[in-house]
Structure 1
């Protein structure tokens, strides 16, 4: 968990500084990160997110395995969030799926993005 937690902390520090480009430096897919930032409606993280559970997710066919974290907190607009973040290995080193964690995201379970893994199961 320590590597995933370190990546999350780095992304949080960038987000708390309102550095969207810096947050996306930790993303496994920068274009998706930019879309997530747009969806955050100008909100940013304030306090460091609370990790409520974590587990390893095995690779499944064409999908990457990694280490998943469920995080919770309140964003700068006062909205509570609960998100799942997945740390995966990439050719550029370890990166996060869903680094914009304050935008209440999940980890898709296949091509249907409405079906998500339950990190706390």
Structure 2
């Protein structure tokens, strides 16, 4: 699980076009410290929250039974509109309000 999270940090950093040394300005972590965290670290929760903020991200616990729905929404909602759910001309693109998030945290409201 830790390696998957570390891979996600690296992938997010690369997606933002950032170098490890850029994290110093974003969150106050030296390149060496960030490199260590990204490669084999076991960061504390407060460190993860800080890194997420620096990567314009948010930490979230997702129940396993909702993971497929969350992934589907994220793939469908690509920022450039080219995600798996991009609408064809004249077709209504599904919205987040179409329900995949309902009940995510156990509240069915």
Q: Which has the higher helix share?
A: 2
Q: Which has the higher strand share?
A: 1
Give the TM-score taking structure 2 as reference length: 0.28
The one of the two structures with greater contact order (alpha-carbon pairs below 8 A, sep at least 6) is 1
